[in-house]
Structure 1
Amino acid sequence: MNTNRLSTIMETALSNQMNKEIHASHIFLSYGIWADDKGYQGIANFLYRHSQEERNHSIKFMEYILNRGGKPKVEAIPAPPNDPDSLTACFDGVFKHEVDNTTAIYKIVDLSLEEKDWATWNFMQWFVQEQIEEETLAQNLIDKLKIAGGDRATDESLFTLDKTLSETPNEVPLAQEATGYNP
């Protein structure tokens, strides 16, 4: 008996998003390594945590596909982009990636509406809300760097920015611990 409750198109779209989230994890990991190498340990730690969060999102997609009777397909992950040449380029890259990811999330929401796949539509609402937070977080990084002086920021301003980001909470919630009350 076939127990898959996802259309072939939906299963593929969800698997693609799972892989997109892993790619995001690699991008933020590479940006974190770049920041660490430049001496920005606070910014690096922030990016490393963000990398782990993206990996958790990938696992959340994997678990959903499996729970709906599908089989996620792991694809080759493209290499992350070259190292940014400045903090502005790094933070702009984070923002651009989050906006691109939001677009991909919205396409799955549209597909779930088109297919009247209400379970997937409901599942995707968590990601819609998450992307609002992610875009806001990325925009805040850009704003904080602008306030610090952008690429012409003083060492003192960059030190303060780096220190501020190092003090953000370290805990990244695990996808498998998410519930309806604690998404």
Structure 2
Amino acid sequence: MKDLVRLRSSVKESVELALNQQIQMEMVSSSKYLAMAGWCDRNGFDYSAGFFYKQSDEERNHAMKIFHYLSDQGGTAHSPEVPAVEQEFDSLRAVFEGALEQEVAVTDSINRIIMVCRRENDFATDELMKWYVKEQMEEEYIARRCLDLFDQIPADQIFELDKQLASVTYDGNPFE
């Protein structure tokens, strides 16, 4: 019976495991960004809070995209357990440093999934992951640019940085 179930799935076990780990990572990212949004709200950084609420939603959507893909391919997608995340930060800069650190970790994980896909000749999942590669380029770019702003704005004008986040969008590829 197990062989029949495996035949119904076009996703190899190693790829399925990696994708389920990525679902968890995306949900952890969502939880971290929600905590960052809450910290920003508590500390008067309204626009930064809005930015991180949006990021939290995006990360959940990233997880759901993989979840649905796995299910659609006949694999088993697991609802992940999400551990507690840090709720307090030393500064707004520390929040953004944490965001960049998380995005770099997600990028590394996406790259590992692609290596597994290529080893297993799983071209369909490899194709799906191309979208995530582009998304991670954008996510890291935005986080780095936000941190660059900290170096350009005097510490006593940090609320100006917060206001600038209301207009942060990304429409292109920084590598074109």
- For normalisation by structure 2, the TM-score amounts to 0.89
Bigger mean CA deviation after superposition, 76-85 or 121-130: 76-85
2:42 alignment partner AA: D
Structure 1: segments with no counterpart, 5+ residues = 170-183
Corresponding position of 1:80: 85
Aligned equivalent of 1:19: 24
| Equivalent pairs, count | 164
Give TM-score, length-normalised by structure 1: 0.86
CA distance in 1, matches of 2:42, 2:166: 15
Contact 1:32 1:47 in 2 (8 A): yes
Name the residue aligned to 1:160.
160
> Is the contact made by 2:150 and 2:161 (CA closer than 8 Å) also made in structure 1?
yes
The amino acid that maps onto 1:18 is I
Match in the other structure for 1:175: none
- CA distance in structure 1 between the aligned counterparts of 2:62 and 2:131, rounded to whole angstroms: 10
CA root-mean-square deviation: 1.2
Q: What is the rounded CA distance, in whole Å, between the counterparts of 2:123 and 2:166 in structure 1?
A: 40
Identity %: 34
> Residue type of the partner of 1:164?
Q
The farther-off stretch of 8-17 and 81-90 is: 81-90
Rounded Cα–Cα distance in structure 1 between residues aligned with 2:130 and 2:10: 18
State the partner residue of 2:172. Answer: none
Gaps of 5+ in 2: 170-176
C-alpha contact (below 8 Å) 1:22/1:55 kept by paired residues: yes
Q: Aligned partners of 1:81 and 1:71: how far apart in 2? A: 30
Q: What is the CA–CA distance in structure 1 between the aligned matches of 2:27 and 2:114, rounded to whole Å?
A: 20
Structure 1 residue 144, shift from structure 2 partner: 1.0
Which residue in the other structure is 1:177 paired with? none
CA distance in 2, matches of 1:86, 1:18: 29
CA pair 88-159 structure 1, distance change in 2 beyond 3 A: closer
